[in-house]
Amino acid sequence: MSLSPDSLPPALGKIVQRFQRASDPKRRYEQLIWYAQKLPEFAQANKVPENKVPGCVSQVYVTATLNDRKVIFAGDSDSQLTKGLLALLIEGLNGLTPKEIIQLNPEFIQATGLNVSLTPSRANGFYNIFRTMQKKALECDAKAQ
């Protein structure tokens, strides 16, 4: 594993370390549920097709806005576990610049160990959420130019 939590943005590095310490899949799930519960309320008005994450079994929505050249994400999902994955990414990526988000390697997902705990469709959904967030960061960047 070439990726160390130190090579990640600080918030994301902390999350990766937290999941690395939870070697038991049940603990990882409990952490995901905890993240899901921490996620702020998402406005119903934002649950529109352009905010929907493609390729997810669950309904997942994510928005990105630029605040002082930093990306701020918000989102929601109808599944607690998927919402936890989304919340983990939001916490890990919020406050980064579009460029930092676009350059992130999705290998950090494997570093959490979650990919082995998740069903293939959930693991795939995790990547899709991450890719959508990168795409939205890119859109924010383009609008700011």
Spans of all domains in the chain: 5-144
Say if residue 116's pLDDT is above 90: no
Q: What is the pLDDT of residues 75-84, one digit of tens each?
A: 999 999 999 9
Single out the catalytic residue among 53, 56, 62, 86: 56
Q: Are the CB atoms for 91 and 134 separated by under 8 Å?
A: no
pLDDT score for 1: 40
Supply 91's token pair: 């916490």
Q: Mean pLDDT throughout 48-75?
A: 94
Q: What is the pLDDT of residues 24-54, one digit of tens each?
A: 889 999 999 999 999 999 999 999 999 999 9
Catalytic (active site) residue 56: yes
In words, the CATH class of domain 5-144 is alpha beta
Q: What is the pLDDT of residues 119-131, one digit of tens each?
A: 888 889 999 999 9
